[in-house]
A and B are shown apart, each in its own frame.
Chain A
């Protein structure tokens, strides 16, 4: 009797998966690392791993559509003579003219203004379009100081000193030559068509003691009127928050690794920084330890997509959030209507991330006049406003279900965690228990 050995199916390595193999081949063929836009694409513990408990016998809910649930937030109440009041705690994160088209920047300003929130400049300075169309505009003060001038500082509503961002804590940037149009080159005092490096650290200060003096200088120049934010990437949130407060910040902006960038090495985006979820509690703890929680406001960004994410960030102790990638999607980024063109670029709608190449079919991450003209800033602004309003309504819905008449009344006790990782990072009890990793008693 013959003995038949059934064949086993081919088995691919979990370590050397298809994506990894393709990247090795790409690196071998080109000799250069992969550069792309966006934030991390790896799966990390996130707000999806938290749930709200809702009301029960011990907590009664508020009536939807009837009982008020306030969403307003005041930013910059610590030192600034003119703090900012927003109708919704969902702000638009810093994105540069240069990385984005003029129309895209205008759309962000229009959308934010319609929704009663702020938008933010980026590396490259302030354009008249975004100032004109943004009721509340935050001016980023970046290491490169491209386009930096005191007149724009004075016509801003707040100043954000950028120390780092979640996609690349410790990294600078590079705007490749193909996106350097005449206007972008002129705003940045550089020749057209050359790669523009954005420095990784500020040219005239190093460390928290210097930062304190720098903030004092900015306040003196603007006569102590403007709120001053300090933005950091998610690296050491407890100490960065504490040091920003010590340096005199009115607002701390904390950006986790899901936060996007216009262009950075993929290896940087995927391997440096911490998930947003892991950043919030240490930052809040630092504020509480200093007696500054709710006095210095905390803005969280990096992977905020829905009103549920907003509510969870606020429940963990944030005062507001910022969105970048989601705002771009709302105005048309990666829209399937351009699928044919994404295919020609070797990608597909939802995966397009070569923002640095300036060929964006949606006309958002480009300086090509023909592509940029595809984006109608009025229509796109309306879409963004709709999205912001939906997110705000969603957050209110959850807050009412938890019995809160202000989004800021959401608290950690309203949450439970689905995974051990999320429980540990957010210091929220695992669902059905009263325990999270790191908490004593077990």
Chain B
């Protein structure tokens, strides 16, 4: 197993090794030790590798991940798994702002809490947060799912498009054009699947409420100007 000690090895070597994997390579399990809050750790992965990061990371860890399975055994700074295409990213601790921003696919699991703007502008990613999320989460969310086992902060789902939000706890306030919606059987089924994928046990999908777009702001209408 390739081990990269970021206290002695430049970040460039880690990312270069991840990008340099050829098809059929055997050494696809990477371990990163002493990340010490480094930014851009394991970014741009485009192969089915596993990366275990033993510690906390800075900005944009696993950014644009496409097929990798990255686990952070610590907390993550802003923009973790931003624009993820596929694969999975698991944060054992907490995540800072913009977790999963603009993600287009894959699964992001945050076992602690996520700060503000979690899932901002999400475009297909699935995000499961075991704890709470901060304000303005899923702002302008286009598609994908955001599952929150705890509480959500202010302005959840502001200016939402077609992303689906499931919150088990309280929601401090909903953003413009975001409303609570009926939990239909297909939503229960999808939520069960997401909880299972995220390793969540002993929590029933029926405990969640669903939020989505009222679709009243989809086409500009001057009579809606007060909503902004």
Contacts and interface: CB of A to CB of B under 8 A. Distances in A.
Interface of A: 30-32, 144-145, 148-151, 153, 174, 176-177, 188-191, 193-195, 197, 199, 203-205, 210, 213-214, 216-217, 220-224
B64 interface: yes
A194 B219 contact: yes
A150 B12 CA distance: 18
A203 B141 CA distance: 11
A203 B60 contact: no
A204 B104 contact: no
Given A150-B83, A150-B85, A203-B101, A221 B64 contact: yes
Contacts of B123: 145, 189
Contact of A150 (B16, B66, B143, B219): B66
B159 A190 contact: no
Given A145-B83, A150-B66, A216-B40, A190 B60 contact: no
B75 interface: no
A224 B16 CA distance: 10
A223 B102 contact: no
A195 B220 contact: yes
A153 B39 CA distance: 19
Contact of B43 (A193, A204, A220): A220
- Across the A-B interface, give the 4 residue pairs with the lowest CB-CB distance, nearest first: A221-B44, A194-B218, A204-B79, A204-B98
Contact of A203 (B16, B85, B117): B117
B78 interface: yes
A174 B140 CA distance: 13
Contact of A213 (B12, B40, B117, B218): B40
Given A204-B60, A204-B120, A220 B15 contact: yes
Given A174-B220, A220-B12, A144 B121 contact: yes
Contact of B11 (A32, A190, A205, A220): A220
A203 B60 CA distance: 12
Given A177-B219, A204-B79, 18 more contacts: A149-B64, A149-B83, A150-B66, A153-B64, A176-B220, A189-B142, A194-B219, A199-B121, A199-B140, A203-B121, A204-B82, A204-B102, A205-B78, A210-B78, A213-B59, A216-B40, A217-B59, A217-B60
Contact of A148 (B16, B102, B117): B102
Interface in B118-162: 120-121, 123-124, 139-140, 142-143, 159, 161-162
B102 A145 contact: yes
Interface of B: prevailing SS: loop
B227 to A, nearest CB: 13
A432 to B, nearest CB: 53
Contact of B19 (A151, A193, A205, A223): A223
Interface string B95-108: 00110011010000
A220 B11 CA distance: 9
A267 to B, nearest CB: 15
B25 interface: no
A151 B45 CA distance: 11
B40 A217 contact: yes
26 contacts: A144-B121, A145-B83, A145-B121, A148-B83, A148-B104, A150-B64, A150-B66, A150-B85, A190-B142, A195-B218, A197-B140, A203-B117, A204-B60, A204-B102, A205-B79, A213-B58, A213-B59, A213-B60, A214-B59, A216-B40, A217-B59, A217-B60, A220-B12, A220-B15, A221-B40, A224-B12
Given A145-B102, A204-B82, A150 B220 contact: no
B63 interface: yes
A214 B60 contact: yes
A345 to B, nearest CB: 20
B40 A189 contact: no
Given A144-B121, A204-B102, A216 B39 contact: yes
Given A148-B83, A217-B39, A191 B63 contact: no
A150 B46 contact: yes
Contact of A195 (B12, B142, B219): B219
B162 A32 contact: no
Interface in B44-63: 44, 46, 58-60, 63
B66 to A, nearest CB: 6
A154 to B, nearest CB: 8
B1 interface: no
Contacts of B142: 188-190
B100 to A, nearest CB: 10
A150 to B, nearest CB: 4
A177 B12 CA distance: 43
Nearest to B58: A213
Nearest to A178: B219
A222 B82 CA distance: 15
B222 interface: yes
